[in-house]
Amino acid sequence: MSSRKVAEALGIELVEVEDWSCCGSTPAHTVDHLLYGALAARNLAIAEKMGLATVVTPCPSCLVAFKSALEMVQDDGKRKELNELLDLPFQGEIQSKSLLQIIYEEVGVEAVAQRAKRPLEGMRLAPYYGCILTRPPKRAQFDDPENPITMDRILEALGAEVPEFPFKTECCGAAFGLPKRELVLTLSAKILEMAQEIGADALVVACPLCQQNLDLRQGQITSREGVSVDLPVLYITQLVGLALGFSPREVGLDKHAVSPNRLLKKWEEKLKE
Amino acid sequence: MEILDLGSIDRHFIRAVEEESGQDVSHCYQCGNCTAGCPLSFAYDIPVHQIMRLIQLGQKEKVLRSHAIWLCATCETCTTRCPCEVDVARVMDTLRIMARREGTVSEEGVRRFYDTFLDSVKRHGRLYEVGLLMRYNLLSGRPFADADLGPKVLGKGKLHFLPENIKGVEAIKGIFDRFAKKRGA
Ligand code: SF4
Ligand code: SF4
């Protein structure tokens, strides 16, 4: 939702991969690497057929799946095995990038900042990249594995204050969602608490699964982990969208469990100054 | 210190892990970096560097029955920090696949969750989240687990309420079917 609008406003042309299917994510690679590769490869093969050069995804977990399929296809034996499972031929002549990478590398921080109509002044934001967007570096080929800075730079250029956040790449455990809730709560609590400790008004994420997990579970964390967390969790393009002039509603901020109203009010007041 | 019976070293297992993961486990020199950085260490029955050691020692049973391999979140910290460039996360992944095959899965809940997820992909081509919540909870006998999240997500238009099938659902079934045939299931 916010991704599409923001991409358009930044001049990135996005076409939907026709009839895309789910990449299988974490569950698939615990079953079989070939099946995992094939589920991701189907989408890439359709995109190849559509004549697209890059598949962009807002989700780091899909990205890993695409990149793994692209690694597999380099190997002749594995390419053959993959294609035995697919009904469209998959050549591997396509690349895959995250939306963040496209904004950072192809649009560029300055160009984004130039388009800002309503800078993010007065917002103090903790950037959380999650565990797999930049790691392992060999596969990710993007940013720094231990101290990524791309979101920091974008948010700073848009006028926000971005303090050092020590848990940028800690794992929030979202993939376990249902069966191991205690673990997810412990891991997520750590990240949210740290962001509160450094005085952030919100946590900014680059992964929709992290977003959902960290936003929805704050009530559970507060009642079960014995810490009180109350921190809006925003996806990076929602903030870029606000700066570009979209309304909070247009970027989906009305859909959050933890209301970002305090943050928005602080921002509005600062803009009025 | 545990005393190891030499007869218990399963060389076939060491080779199988190496082949399936594409990693040379003998490269690990037990520096402990992986365990130091692993966010799930606190929950593991066997820390990840010891898993690596147990593989080197061919301790198939201990490794494939460990809870640790199912609590691993594939966060890639270990792989990123291993000074010997062992893709440790890939090894953990391979161990899960092997444990499934050997029928030694120690964390039924995690396995069932993954299976339910994939089943949704197989049937609809995409993930049908509410269905996933319900099916998982029914299968695991916890119909109301996470119910406190329900109204929040449904009310906000986030999880899809009705399964949305994609046109290519047959193509996806095809992938699963050909896969099953290939693996002889
Ligand atoms: S980081 Fe690498 S070398 Fe060190 S214990 Fe772990 S696997 Fe072995
Ligand atoms: S990938 Fe698994 S074993 Fe490695 S650090 Fe992450 S959770 Fe631990």
Closest ligand 1 atom, residue B78 Cα: 1
Q: Can you tell me the distance from the alpha carbon of B130 to that of B23, in angstroms, rounded to the nearest whole number? A: 38
Q: Which among B73, B145, B175 has CB closest to A38?
A: B175
pLDDT at B51: 98
Per-residue pLDDT at B58: 96
* A68/B18 Cα distance (integer angstroms): 18
The rounded distance, in Å, linking the Cα atoms of A202 and A130 is 15
pLDDT band per the 50, 70, 90 thresholds, residue B162: very low
More confident residue, A47 or A214: A214
B93 and B20 housed in the same domain: yes
The pLDDT of B161-171, averaged and rounded, is 57
Mean pLDDT of chain B: 80
Predicted pLDDT of residue B165: 55
Looking at the DSSP assignment, which residues form a beta bridge with residue A98? A57
Residues B89 and B132 grouped into a single domain: no
Please report the pLDDT score of residue B70 as a whole number. Answer: 93
Is the CB of residue A241 less than 8 Å from the CB of residue A250?
A: yes
List of chain B residues whose C-beta atoms are within 8 Å of the C-beta of residue A173: 39-40, 73
- Alpha-carbon distance of A234 to A204, in angstroms, equals 5
Q: Where a domain ends, among B72, B102, B132?
A: B102
Mean pLDDT of the residues in chain A: 88
Q: Is the CB of B74 under 6 A from ligand 2?
A: yes
Residue B74 within a domain: yes
What part of A 117-156 touches B (C-beta under 8 Å)?
Answer: 131-132, 135-137, 145-146
In a domain, B2, yes or no: no
- B134-149: per-residue pLDDT in tens? 444 444 444 444 545 5
Q: What is the mean pLDDT of residues B88-101?
A: 94
Q: Quick one: B137 and B75 in the same domain?
A: no
- Rounded Cα gap, residues A151 and A170, in angstroms: 16
* Residue B160 contacts A, CB cutoff 8 Å: no
Shared domain check, B94 and B15: yes
B 58-77 residues with CB below 8 A of A? 71, 73-77
Q: Is B43 in the pocket of ligand 2 (CB under 6 A)?
A: no
- Residue B151 is predicted with a pLDDT of 46
Closest to A19 (Cα-Cα) out of A47, A41, A38:
A47
Domain count within chain B: 2
* More confident: A181 or B119: A181
Residues B29 and B71 both lie in one domain: yes
Q: Which residue has the tokens 């002549």?
A: A93
Report yes or no on B3 lying in a domain. no
B32 CA to middle of ligand 2, Å?
12
Comparing A154 with B169, the larger pLDDT belongs to A154
B85 and B116, same structural domain?
no
Per-residue tokens: B157: 């238009």
With respect to residue B31, please indicate whether it lies within any of the assigned structural domains. Answer: yes
**pLDDT band, very low/low/confident/very high, at A109 (cuts 50, 70, 90):** very high
Q: Which two tokens stand for residue A227?
A: 């810490």
**B14 and B81 belong to one structural domain:** yes
Helices A236-244 and A2-9, packing angle to 10 deg: 50
Average pLDDT over residues B158-177: 62
* Amino acid present at A123: M
Confidence of residue A173 (pLDDT cuts 50, 70, 90): confident
Asked whether residue A70 carries a pLDDT value surpassing 70, the answer given is yes
Alpha helices in B22-74 (DSSP H): 33-37, 48-56, 60-64, 68-71
CA distances in angstroms from A147 to A61, A118, A142, listed in the order given: 19, 28, 11
- Which stretches does DSSP call E strand in chain A? 54-57, 95-98, 125-128, 202-205, 233-235
Chain B closest-CA separation from residue A247 CA (Å) = 17
Flag whether pLDDT at A240 surpasses 80. Answer: yes
Shared-domain flag, residues B63 and B120: no
Strand order in the sheet with A233-235: A125-128, A202-205, A233-235
Look up the pTM and report it: 0.83
**B25 within some domain:** yes
Task: Check whether residue B29 and residue B82 sit in a common domain.
Answer: yes
Most ligand 2 atoms within 8 A of CB, residue of B21, B34, B70, B78 to mutate: B78
Nearest to B178 among A84, A178, A255 (CB): A84
* B24 located within any domain: yes
pLDDT at B124: 63
> Residue B176 pLDDT > 50, yes or no?
yes
Read off the amino acid at residue A147. N
Contacting residues for A78 by C-beta, under 8 A, at least 6 apart: A34, A37, A72
Provide ipTM, 2 decimals: 0.84
What is the Cα A41 distance to its own chain's centre?
A: 21
| B98 in the same domain as B25 | yes
Q: In which domain, by residue range, is B136 found?
A: 108-184
Average of per-residue pLDDT across B79-93: 96
The count of C-alpha atoms lying within 13 angstroms of the C-alpha of A167, restricted to the half-sphere facing its C-beta, is 21
A168 near B CB under 8 A: no
Q: Are residues B68 and B138 located together in one domain of the fold?
A: no
Calculate mean pLDDT across residues B59-87.
95
Confidence (pLDDT) at A25: 61
pLDDT of residue A117: 95
* CA A255 – CA B47 distance, rounded (Å): 39
- Which of B60, B81, B102 represents a domain boundary (last residue)? B102
Q: What is the pLDDT of residue B185?
A: 56
What is the mean predicted confidence (pLDDT) over A31-40? 83
B24 and B69 assigned to the same domain: yes
Q: Is B16 on the interface with A (CB under 8 A)?
A: no
Q: How confident is the model at residue A177 (pLDDT cuts 50, 70, 90)?
A: low
